[in-house]
Amino acid sequence: MARFLCRETGKTFSLLPIQLIPYFQYTVHAVIGALLLGLKSRESGQQGFYGAAVGVDPDSRVTPWLVAYWFMMVIKGFRNAHATLITWYDLSGIHSGKKHEVYEEASGYFSGLGWKQEVIRWALMALAFTRYSQRTKLFLFGIPSQWRSRE
């Protein structure tokens, strides 16, 4: 397994929890990229996640339903990690609650982490995943097998 040195802490780490989501066929980068496409489509007046599904490579077989599932999985990950993430990022304007506000909540997380841009900078995403994984020894998104019985 490849290990990398974190400049911030001086410790080595594996990219596995950063690049992958447990039990998902797609990488974190692909999932976040599709969700940002979905939010952008929504901001331009579209409903649902069709805009995200047609905005990705057609060979990826991404459907609007799959994007919606990813969306809820990412929101759940952000909510679970909120207390840890606020130690590094200003997430004070984010409030979870009402179902119709979940898009604003996701948009708030993406903006707070610096991800809501035309071109997603992988380094910003990787920094958040690295910090979270090093601090908690957990994946930011998804549930590894050893934790599945606890859900």
Instruction: Determine the pLDDT at residue 1.
Output: 40
Q: Are 41 and 52 in contact (CB under 8 A)?
A: yes
User: Which tokens go with 42?
Assistant: 């929504």
How far is 108 from 97, CA to CA, in rounded Å? Answer: 13
Instruction: Determine the pLDDT at residue 12.
Output: 57
How far is 78 from 72, CA to CA, in rounded Å? Answer: 10
**What does each C-alpha distance from 83 to 7, 14, 41, 65, 137 come to in angstroms?**
23, 23, 29, 29, 15
**148 against 24, higher pLDDT:** 24
Closest CA to 72 of 103, 95, 29, 94: 103
39 backbone dihedrals φ, ψ, rounded to 5°: -65, -40
Q: How does pLDDT run across 66-123, given as a tens digit for each residue?
A: 888 888 899 999 999 999 999 999 998 887 766 657 888 888 888 888 876 655 667 7
How far is 41 from 52, CA to CA, in rounded Å? Answer: 7
> In whole numbers, what is the pLDDT of the chain averaged over residues?
77
Q: Are 1 and 16 in contact (CB under 8 A)?
A: yes
Instruction: Determine the pLDDT at residue 2.
Output: 45
Instruction: Determine the pLDDT at residue 18.
Output: 62
**What does each C-alpha distance from 61 to 25, 97, 126 come to in angstroms?**
11, 31, 25
Q: What is the three-class DSSP state of 88? A: coil
Q: How does pLDDT run across 5-15, given as a tens digit for each residue?
A: 555 566 655 55
Q: Are 142 and 18 in contact (CB under 8 A)?
A: no
